């Protein structure tokens, strides 16, 4: 926890608290984590180049071992992002799930599905994204 401030050469100062809180509950086969984050992030090296962005988010993650080599996971989150150049407000939410299987000590398989929506004050920046991943990992 702390406090941040930005004093730009042009424009108004930005400041506020920042925090990163996490609570985890582990059972014999199930783990649940709830995370709350707030403060800011800087985005200068991506295609969007949003600069300084206030951000507040909540994330929940649930993982459960169905069998010795089979795990299932679910996650969901929400983020409120406020960018100043350009002036934009975003409500971003996402949900997802995955299924993993440890086929051998050296081989694992994963199937993951997710959905993400960004509702932006700039309508051309709003989007919906569906993603599916199948991953095979072999280690030696």
Q: Confirm whether 49 is domain-assigned.
A: yes
Q: Where do we find the tokens 């608290």?
A: 17
Rounded to two decimals, what is the model's pTM? 0.83
**Residue 102's pLDDT band (boundaries 50, 70, 90)?**
very high
Q: Which two tokens stand for residue 80?
A: 């409120």
Q: Confirm whether 60 is domain-assigned.
A: yes
Q: Confirm whether 101 is domain-assigned.
A: yes
Q: Confirm whether 52 is domain-assigned.
A: yes
Is the Cα dihedral 42, 10, 38, 128 positive or negative?
A: negative
Cβ neighbours of residue 127 under 8 Å, at least 6 residues apart?
Answer: 117, 118
Q: Percent of the chain having pLDDT more than 70?
A: 97
* Spatial distance between the Cα atoms of 108 and 102, rounded to a whole number of angstroms: 4
Q: Confirm whether 82 is domain-assigned.
A: yes
Q: Confirm whether 113 is domain-assigned.
A: yes
Domain count, the chain: 1
Q: Which two tokens stand for residue 57?
A: 């988010």
The parent domain of residue 66 ranges over: 20-138
| b/e map 66-94, b = 16+ CB within 10 Å | eeeeebebebbbebebbbbeeeeebebbb
Q: Confirm whether 114 is domain-assigned.
A: yes
* pLDDT score of 2: 93
Of 4-8, 63-67, 121-125, the poorest mean pLDDT is in 4-8
Comparing CA positions, the residue from 56, 64, 57, 60 lying closest to residue 34 is 60
Q: Confirm whether 77 is domain-assigned.
A: yes
């Amino acid at each position: 926890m702390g406090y941040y401030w930005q004093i730009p050469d042009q424009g108004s100062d930005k400041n506020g608290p920042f925090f990163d809180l996490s609570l985890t509950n582990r059972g014999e086969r199930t783990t649940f984590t709830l995370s709350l984050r707030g403060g800011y992030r800087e985005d200068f090296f991506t295609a969007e180049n949003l600069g300084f962005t206030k951000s507040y988010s909540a994330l929940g993650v649930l993982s459960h071992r169905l069998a010795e080599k089979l795990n299932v996971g679910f996650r969901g989150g929400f983020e409120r992002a406020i960018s100043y150049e350009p002036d934009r407000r975003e409500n971003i939410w996402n949900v997802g799930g995955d299924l993993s299987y440890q086929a051998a000590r050296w081989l694992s398989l994963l199937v993951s599905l997710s959905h993400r929506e960004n509702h932006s004050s700039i309508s051309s920046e709003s989007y919906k994204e569906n993603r599916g991943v199948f991953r095979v990992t072999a280690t030696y």
